[in-house]
Amino acid sequence: MQLYSTNDRSNIVNLKQAVLKSLAEDKGLYMPTSIPQLPQAFLDNLQSFSFEEIAFQVSKNLFGSTIPNWGLWQICETAINFPAPVVKVTESISSLELWHGPSLAFKDFGARYMAHLMSYFTRNEDQKLTILVATSGDTGGAVAAGFLDAPGIEVVILYPSGRVSPLQEQQLTTLGGNISACEIQGSFDDCQSMVKTAFLDSQLNAKYHLSSANSINIARLIPQSFYYFEAMKQLDQSQQNVFCVPSGNFGNLTAGLLAQRMGLPISQFIAATNLNRVVPDYLQSGTYQPKASIPTISNAMDVGSPSNFVRIQELFDKSHSKMSQAIKGYAYDDAATTGELLSLYQDTGYLADPHGAVGFLAAKEYLQSHSRSTHVTVLETAHPAKFLDTVQECIGEQIAVPDRLSVLSSRQKVATPLSNEYSEFKTYMLQRD
Ligand SMILES: *Cc1c(COP(=O)(O)O)cnc(C)c1O
């Protein structure tokens, strides 16, 4: 498999380089030079494959002979070890529940797959790998859980102080071991830009073998395409299947587009956002205008400058008209989101998290203007208990917290407080042992 940088098509690397570097030196994001179609026999018979087998087939299709079958099977089998069930919510809307992993969010798929892929690639090397990751919410928890105790790998997580939920904060700050957390006085965009600067810093690169676990890493993106196949396997394939993706950095939606390019018959995508609506606005107007992020209750989507937008542009040859045909954008404020969370629960008994609720809003609005044979599957990106206060206040009921979350509250928080000045973060990194 070969990948190019979105800033320079002649800058070609192999999978190992792309996974370990994460970001190209020209600041571009890596994209596969070709996205082969999967064999029709596979696409027509998804039902006969387990989720791990789907992961293997899709990986193999992209990687070619880059990783031997035994290695690839081990990665898929270890990383993709929890289900992604499709739950029917109404006649025309289903929920693809992506929260059955250790941190209760879809990012577990990407984090676990990337951790095992990186371990595979560095298994014969001496120098430790240091993963830098900026999180607006769930990334950190998923990465921490995915990489905890991974041999030869340490993780440094940057998160915006006060802008992640208490439970998310516990997920990032209580594991210890090879996982460290920095609490940044600033926004997620500040955290992300500090990480991007660090990768280009020669002093830090001399001290560390740096790598990233953000959604910019291609190793996060690829496994996120698996569950679109896994979902289709559970859906009625004779209907028009649309996927609705609650989006922030647009990794999940980009992964869906990859699945579609590999031959999965997805008829359209819906990009659902909160008030951070740069992409829906672009799809409407043709003008792309990144902004400072706005805090909302669906905080994992509080992104004013979505990093994967350049990848989506690549997939559509930078054509606004192609992109706006394939993807419909919708954006909602917090009042609409809590309104939907409550009414969905009252009408159907289905309890969504705030990110999923944004998706259900978009799915319903979309269906108002689309045919009755259309079925929308909303990606339910996190378990509602991850946003406990918001969800309980909204429905006026206590909800049960899964054990894998509730144990965290008894653990000690360990985080290093830092300003949003890059120099302060750099000093911290240089002084670490
Ligand atoms: C990260 C996250 C999102 C946004 O996903 P992107 O791939 O960045 O668009 C949505 N919902 C939840 C719960 C998340 O953690």
Q: Percent of the chain, pLDDT > 90?
A: 83
Give the strand pairing for 327-331 and 374-380: unpaired
- What tens digit of pLDDT does each residue of 56-112 get? 999 999 999 999 999 999 999 999 999 999 999 999 999 999 999 988 989 999 999
CA 303 to ligand 1 center in whole angstroms: 10
Tell me the pLDDT band of 17, cut-offs 50, 70 and 90. very high
Q: Which two tokens stand for residue 197?
A: 């600067």
Ligand 1: which of 138, 143, 386 to mutate, most ligand atoms within 8 Å of CB? Answer: 138
CATH of domain 83-102+221-400: 3.40.50.1100
pLDDT at 138: 67
Q: Compute, in angstroms, the gap from residue 206 CA to the centroid of ligand 1.
A: 32
Query: What is the reported pTM?
Result: 0.90
Best of 109, 355, 380, 391 to mutate for ligand 1, by most ligand atoms within 8 A of CB?
355
Q: Ligand 1, atom 2: nearest CA belongs to which residue?
A: 300
Q: DSSP letters of 293-324?
A: ----SSGGG--SS-TTHHHHHHHTTT-HHHHH
- Taking only the tens place, the pLDDT of each residue in 212-245 is 776 689 999 999 999 999 999 999 999 999 999 9
Q: In degrees to the nearest 10, what's the CA dihedral of 296, 297, 300, 301?
A: -50
**pLDDT score of 195:** 93
Is the separation of the CB atoms in 55 and 110 below 8 Å? Answer: no
Q: Domains of the chain: which residue ranges?
A: 83-102+221-400
The helix/strand count (H/E) of the chain reads as 19, 14
Residue-wise pLDDT for 197-206, tens only, equals 998 999 999 9
The set of residues, in sequence order, having a beta carbon less than 8 Å from that of 171 and lying 6+ positions away, is: 103, 140, 141, 144, 145, 405, 408
Instruction: Please give the pLDDT value at position 211.
Output: 85
User: CA–CA separation, 282 vs 198, rounded Å?
Assistant: 30
Task: Tell me the CA–centroid distance for residue 41 and ligand 1, in Å.
Answer: 32
Query: What are phi and psi for residue 331, nearest 5 degrees?
Result: -135, 145
* pLDDT > 90? residue 400: yes
Q: What is the pLDDT of residues 242-297, one digit of tens each?
A: 999 999 999 999 999 999 999 999 999 999 999 999 999 999 999 999 999 999 99
Band the pLDDT of 141: cuts 50, 70, 90. confident
| Residues framing ligand 1 (Cβ under 6 A) | 105, 107, 137-138, 215, 246-252, 300-301, 355, 381-382
Average pLDDT over residues 184-191: 95
Q: 3-state DSSP call for residue 59?
A: helix
Atom 15 of ligand 1, residue of closest alpha carbon: 138
The residue written with tokens 């995508």 in the block is 269
Q: Is the pLDDT of residue 22 over 90?
A: no
Q: Which residues contact 175 (CB under 8 A, 6 or more apart)?
A: 144, 145, 148
Distance 70 CA to ligand 1 centre (A): 31
Contact present, 93 and 352 (Cβ < 8 Å):
no
pLDDT at position 7, please?
97
Residue 428 pLDDT class (50, 70, 90 cuts): very high
**Best of 106, 222, 302 for a ligand 1 pocket test (most atoms within 8 Å of beta carbon):** 106
User: Which among 245, 166, 203 is positioned nearest to 406, based on CA atoms?
Assistant: 166
pLDDT for residue 408: 87
